[in-house]
Amino acid sequence: MFNLAYELAVRILHLTESWSCRFDWLAEQIMRSSESVAANIAEGFESQHPKEYLRSLYIARREAGETKVHLRYAHDAGLTSADECDGLCRDYDRVGQMLWGLIRSLGSRV
């Protein structure tokens, strides 16, 4: 899950490189939210405290949702193709499902 989230953040970074400077604000937002998914997974795991880990996983899941909104906006603004947007959104859905499974699993133990 972490590896996929990290890979997606790198893909987002490369995706935004070709965007017009007019959309710098969107590039910054989407890079921030996409990187935050992987960072929160790692931060929670490293805390070694179940409640902190759970909290970080919830944040990572929200950030994945935010990233999908930015991707859809980028598509509607003509910055990404439908295939690119849909593929990345599907991958973020996968990360979200994995996060939700882990959250449910940990939630029953906390």
pLDDT recorded at residue 95? 98
pLDDT recorded at residue 109? 67
The CA distance from 37 to 61, in Å, is 7
The gap from C-alpha 38 to its chain's centroid, in whole angstroms, comes to 7
Task: For 57-102, write each residue's pLDDT tens digit.
Answer: 999 999 999 999 999 999 999 999 999 999 999 999 999 999 999 9
Report the CATH number at residue 78: 1.20.1440.60
Q: Is 80 helix (H, G, I), strand (E, B) or coil?
A: coil
Q: How many domains does the chain have?
A: 1
Q: Which domain holds residue 32?
A: 2-107
Stated pTM of the model:
0.93
